[in-house]
Structure 1
Amino acid sequence: MGKASRDKRDIYYRKAKEEGWRARSAFKLLQIDEEFNIFEGVKRVVDLCAAPGSWSQPMAPIEGVIQVQGDITNARTAEVVIRHFDGCKADLVVCDGAPDVTGLHDMDEFVQSQLILAGLTVVTHVLKEGGKFIAKIFRGKDTSLLYCQLKLFFPVVTFAKPKSSRNSSIEAFAVCENYFPPEGFNPKDLHRLLEKVGSPWGGEDQDCSSGWLEGPNKVYIPFLACGDLNGYDSDRSYPLPKVADGTYQSLDPVQPPIAPPYKRALEMKKASSQGIREPEKHSLDS
C-alpha cells in the first residue's frame, strides 16, 4: 500500500502525521481522556509495551522519558521503574501492548488477557493507591473473567471503545480507576488470588468471585464509546486534501522505525535493483 493510499484509507494515520504524533494510537488515548479525564493530576506515568512493533524493534528516544527494556512479568522490572521515580509510585499506568494476532479469536483473546495480567503484575508494584490503569483488551467470551479479576484491585472498571479504534476490530480498552488492593495483599500472591475469581470456591467477600460467571451470577460489564460521535470514522476512506498544484504530497511518519525487522529485505531489494550481487558465503566446513 502506497503512502497516499494509506492516507486515504486511514484518516487517523494521516491526522497523526499532520498533528505530530508518532502513531495513530495516540488518538485512542486522547479520546479515552476526553471521557475519563485520566491525565488529571498525573505527574508520573508508566507506559508498558511502548516500543512500536512490540518486541521487534527498539524505540527512538523521547525527551523527558526514561526507557527501560525489561520483562513485565518480572518484579525486578518494576523495581527498576520505582528506582527511576526516586522511590515514588506512578499515578497512571498504560499498556497498549498486544501479541501478533493469529486470526483465531479465542486464542488471541486468551493471549491478550495473559499479557494484561502480566501488566497487572507491574501495576501492583508501581501504581499508587488511587491511581489508574489503562490496558488494551480483546473482547470475547471470557471478557467477564478478566473484568472480575481487575475488579479485585479497582472499584471502578469500564471497558471503552475509542472512535479511532476500528469497529471491525475486537479491540477495546479496560479503564481501571482508583487502585485499591485487597487488605493485606502481597504482590507475590497475585496469581493465586486471580485463580479464585469466577470459581465456586472463590471468597464471598470478593466482588464477582462468589460464584460462576454465568446464569444468575452473570456479570454485565460497563461498556462505553469514547470520542465525538460526529468525528472521523476509522473504518471509512476519506478523500485526500486538495492542494494548490493538484499534487498531494504524503507526509513521512514523525518517527520512522530505527531497526525494523524488514530492514534487511529492503537492503537486498535495493541492491538487486542496482545490479549489485551479494558476496557468496561459504561454510568453514565446505
Structure 2
Amino acid sequence: MMSRPSLDLIPAFHAVMTHGSLSAAARVLRLAQPTVRRQIEALEAELGTQLFTRAANGLTPTGMAQTLMPLAAAVIAEAAALGRVASAGAQALEGVVRITTSRVVAGHVLPMLIRQMQAEAAGLRFEVAATDRAEDLTRRAADIAIRFTPPRQQALVASRLPDCEVALFAAPDFAPPDPDRPWQEQPFVADDREDLILPALTAAGLPAPSNVVLRCDDPLAQIAAIQGGVGLGFCQVKLAARLGLRRVAPGVMHPMPVWLVVHEDQARIARIAFVFDRLKSALRHLM
C-alpha cells in the first residue's frame, strides 16, 4: 500500500524523468549520482512500487512512473511558485516573475521588454519558460503567459491583445531558381512531424507548397532558414520587419489571436501586476 512520500525525494524522481538518466539528474540537482540513486530507491520504498527498471543502458520508467510524473511536476511547480512569491513582499516591485510564451516570442520579443522593465524596476528578476506547450497557470507553472490559444482554465485573468499577423517572407537576397513560378512552387520552409503549416494552408483555401526543401519543427530554426535564404516561410509580420525580411505573396496572411494571461491570485501581487501591465501595453506594438 502506498504511503505519503517525503517531499524532498520528489525532485530526484522528477529530474530523472525529465533528463533521462541519473547522471543528468545529478548535474541538474548539483548532487552526487549515488545520492540521486539513493533518493530514487528511498522513494520507491516509501511508495511501495517500482519506478524504474535497471538495465546496462540506464533507467527505464515504469508505467507507474509515467502516471506519477504529472503529479510530481505539479509539486515542483508549486514549490517554485512558493519561492517566487516569497522572493519579495506583495507590494514590492522586486523579486522573481516567471513568464511562459512561445520560443519565437521568448527569443525575439521578450528580451527588449525585459530590459525596459528592469530599467524601471531594477529589483525585478525574470524566469522565461520558452515553450510552445501551454503551461498550467492554475498549478503555478508560471506567473504570466503569452498564449496563441484561448485560456480554458478557471480563475485566470485573460486580456485579449490584437491579432498577431503571420505572412510569407524570404531573405532580401533570396533568388529562387525560377522567379516566374508562383510562390507555392518556390523553395519552401515548413514544419516536420508537427505538420501544422501545410494543413493550415489547405484549410484556408490556399494551395499547398509543392517544393518543400526544409522541414523542421523548431520555429526559431525555421526563421533562421528563411533568413539564410533557404526558401520562403512564415514569420510574424512585425518581427519580419525588424529582421529585414522581404514579404512575398502579399495576399497570404494568417491572423493569430493573442492572449495575455495571469492567475487571479497572482494579479494582486505588485510586481506581477506591473509586468502584466507593461506587457499588455508593449506587445500590441511588437507582435
- TM-score scaled by structure 1? 0.22
- TM-score scaled by structure 2? 0.22
Higher helix share: 2
Higher strand share: 2
